[in-house]
Amino acid sequence: MVRGQLSLVRGQLSLVCVLWSVVGRQWSAVAGESAFSARGRFAHSRRRAIGCAQRIIAAGCLGLWVLVFTATAQSSLPQPGPLQSAPPQEGRPRILRDIGIEQRLNELAPLDLVFRDEQGRSVRLGEFFNGKPVILALVYYNCPMLCNQVLNGLASSLDVLKFDVGKEFNVVTVSFDPRDTPEIAAAKKEGYMARYKRAGAADGWHFLSGDSASIEQLTNSVGFKYEFDEKTNQFAHASGIMILTPQGKLARYFYGIEYAPKDLRLGLIEASENKIGTPVDALLLYCYHYDPTTGKYGPVVMNIMKLGGIVTIIGIVALLLLLRRKSATRMEVGVGGVA
């Protein structure tokens, strides 16, 4: 794979060198013609402008190849895997052996499950998939540390996003502790609404609680594994969030307690089937693809190389046309001056 990428780089470098030599010859021709021009006193400044344009293109080419080689080197390095259930190991606490997050990409979440919202009303999970992608966060509201960090990390990323909760997407937070009540969920929601401070967010960010049966079905369907520790009266669990399509299919998993706003934005755009976002986002999705093994978006070296090659060729061709136009103009001025 890497050898093929390097071969393509060498090929594109050769093409750039050929085109560059053509630019050099064109520049020399323009410089020679300017010596016979009636406007010869401007030749020096024009040659400096042409030389400046050449240096700009050269710097752009150099930066492009540095980027390509860096991305190639990164892609060849081993990447860490996702947080998944690990097999039993000697010396590892039993309660930690079966916790983790296993991806269920493209599988449909059970949207018919019934939970309780912050006001104590019975609601179907599918009610929140109203034509928009959904960020799903599984936590429990009385968690002393990790769950709060998950929600804080999510809120921090949402603060950076230009997309608005309730407008382009919804957020559904579900407690996997059947002891949590709507009153506790309402208090948790109030705190995060005061932090997020965007209009309409209360209608798009929901905090749910439910019984053991609904919780178990939901967590099993999305691959979220956890255990209750009776000694500490707490849950042992992994940390992460999921993005689901408007139809309820699991599209993306992001692990940890901090989520890059770029990854969230691209994940939401892909989950919405490009119904949200801008043409610039479409270009980014051409250069960055989701890697299930890391739970992040990474550069696609080949696509970046193709795009960079196209931009380089367009720039050189544009410079050639500019030089040819200046050459023709100078010849006309020179003939007029002699006459």
Q: Is 223 left (phi over 0), alpha (psi -120 to 50) or beta?
A: left
* 57/223 Cα distance (integer angstroms): 50
CA distance 114 to 208: 10
Alpha carbon distance 70, 275 (integer Å): 32
Give the CA angle between residues 153, 76, 81 to the nearest 5°: 40
DSSP one-letter code for 30: H
Q: pTM higher than 0.85 for the full model?
A: no
What is the number of residues in the chain?
Answer: 339
Domains of the chain: 2-78+302-338 (no CATH), 94-293 (3.40.30.10)
CA distance 42 to 7: 44
Rounded CA gap, 266 and 327, in Å?
A: 46
Instruction: Spell out the per-residue pLDDT of the chain, length 339, in tens.
Output: 444 544 544 555 555 554 455 445 554 544 444 444 444 544 555 565 556 555 555 555 555 554 444 444 444 433 444 444 434 444 556 656 678 999 999 999 999 999 999 999 999 999 999 999 999 999 999 999 899 999 999 999 999 999 999 999 999 999 999 999 999 999 999 999 999 999 999 999 999 999 999 999 999 999 999 999 888 899 999 999 999 999 999 999 999 999 999 999 999 999 998 776 666 656 555 566 677 777 777 765 445 455 455 666 666 666 666 766 766 666 665 555 544
The amino acid at 282 = A
Distance CA 199, CA 185 (A): 20
**65: CB partners within 8 A, 6+ apart:** 9, 13
Q: What's the rounded Cα separation, in Å, for the pair 46 and 48?
A: 5
